[in-house]
Amino acid sequence: MARIEDAWAALFADALATLSPIHRAALTDATPALCALGTTLRNRRDAAHD
């Protein structure tokens, strides 16, 4: 599992490196909203399994 996560992390880092500074900044600014979305989706998934 760790190797898969490392591979995804490397792929993600490589892709981010190709983005313009403006796009990287936009993703950084969107991080709190994306985390909130992830939390909401996990909560709904967990509620559906209860």
Give per-residue burial for 16-49: e unless 16+ CB within 10 Å, then b.
Answer: eeeeeeeeeeeeeeeeeeeeeeeeeeeeeeeeee
- Which pLDDT does position 5 carry in this prediction? 96
- Which pLDDT does position 42 carry in this prediction? 96
pLDDT digit string, tens, across residues 38-50: 999 999 999 999 8
- Which pLDDT does position 50 carry in this prediction? 85
- Cα 45 to Cα 3: distance, rounded to the nearest angstrom: 26
Model pTM above 0.85: no
- Cα 28 to Cα 49: distance, rounded to the nearest angstrom: 32
What amino acid occupies position 15?
Answer: A
In three-state secondary structure terms, 1 is coil
pLDDT < 70 regions, the chain: none
